[in-house]
Amino acid sequence: MNRVSNSGKRHGLARVLSKMGLASRTEASRLILAGAVRVNGKTIREPEYPVRMGQDRIETGEGGAEPRPFMAIMLNKPRGLVTTRSDERQRATVYDCLPADMPWLSPVGRLDKASEGLLLFCNDPAWAAGITSPETGPDKTYHVQIDCIPDDALLRRLRSGVLTDTGFLSAKRIALLRHGEKHAWLEVVLDEGRNRQIRRLLEGFDIGVLRLIRTAIGGLPLGDLPKGQWRQLAENELALLNHA
């Protein structure tokens, strides 16, 4: 499945390499600055050099640069990994769960270091932007263990949202899943993905988060994929996400 559109419109060379699924824009810029990319036979060292995808001949150190077939995978992210390819503090990243020889893939959205569960990767930035967009993207479902047992009044307040220093925070849906003597599990559904949204929403009510697991994106569930393992998405799973 090739999702790259060929047109005569000019774009920066680094952006084009990213759209072709060959590297992230940052990595593409590094290749260009290192002199490893040629356009129409000429070495180009300017990441913003304008090119026409599908018309100009783009070559890398490995020869002609052809768009890679669309690829998307799902990972059951373990707690304690940061969602980045490389970390300046040398922390373990989600890429430690993927094979070293896997073609370039970028995370579709993020899960913070303490969060777990379903994380998508793909090689098409436009598709990823559609999945993460509040306007076009599917809902994201989380199971959250909290350090208290909320009564009906607190659940109503949670559903109403809270005003914080950085703006108003709310969720599309919040439901009580189950509880024990001291702790409870909530199901929280978001239709947007603001930074640490669930944690900051609950902090607004003095509720601590013990675990936070993303269990589904749209109609795609995490299922029984083991922690730290990944697999490629099937066509019917991509259809679930695209339909949402």
**What's 208's domain CATH number?**
3.30.2350.10
Tell me whether strands 184-190 and 140-146 are parallel, antiparallel or unpaired: antiparallel
The domain tally of the chain equals 3
Q: Quick one: pLDDT band at residue 244, thresholds 50, 70, 90?
A: low
Instruction: State how far the Cα of 79 lies from the Cα of 135, in Å rounded to an integer.
Output: 29
Same domain, yes or no: 146 and 202? yes
In a domain, 103, yes or no: yes
Give CA separation, 77 vs 29, 139, 146, 162, 195, in Å.
Answer: 28, 18, 20, 29, 17
**What's 55's domain CATH number?**
3.10.290.10
Using a pLDDT cut of 90, give the percent of the chain over it. Answer: 55
Q: Which of 87, 112, 139, 191 is catalytic?
A: 112
pLDDT number for residue 61: 66
Are 31 and 92 in contact by the 8 Å Cβ rule? The answer is no
Residue 112 annotated among the catalytic residues of the structure: yes
Are 194 and 134 in contact by the 8 Å Cβ rule? The answer is no
In a domain, 60, yes or no: yes
Q: Quick one: pLDDT band at residue 162, thresholds 50, 70, 90?
A: very high
Are 60 and 13 in contact by the 8 Å Cβ rule? The answer is no
Same domain, yes or no: 144 and 213? yes
Q: Share the mean pLDDT of the chain.
A: 88
Same domain, yes or no: 82 and 126? yes
| Structure-token pair, residue 191 | 């239709």
In a domain, 151, yes or no: yes
pLDDT number for residue 186: 98
In a domain, 3, yes or no: no
Same domain, yes or no: 58 and 171? no
25-40 per-residue burial string, b: 16 or more CB within 10 A, e: under 16: bebbbebbeeebbbbe
User: Domain residues for 182?
Assistant: 140-217
pLDDT number for residue 68: 72
Tell me which of 209 and 166 has the higher pLDDT.
209
Q: Quick one: pLDDT band at residue 2, thresholds 50, 70, 90?
A: very low
Per-residue pLDDT for 237 more than 90?
Answer: yes
Same domain, yes or no: 210 and 237? no
Is the pTM for the entire model greater than 0.85? no
Instruction: State how far the Cα of 199 lies from the Cα of 208, in Å rounded to an integer.
Output: 8
Q: Quick one: pLDDT band at residue 182, thresholds 50, 70, 90?
A: very high
Mean pLDDT of 44-48: 89
Same domain, yes or no: 79 and 125? yes
Mean pLDDT of 210-225: 97
Same domain, yes or no: 132 and 231? yes
Mean pLDDT of 88-96: 91
Provide DSSP, 134-187.
Answer: TTTSPPEEEEEEESS---HHHHHHHHH-EEETTEEE--SEEEEEEE-SS-EEEE
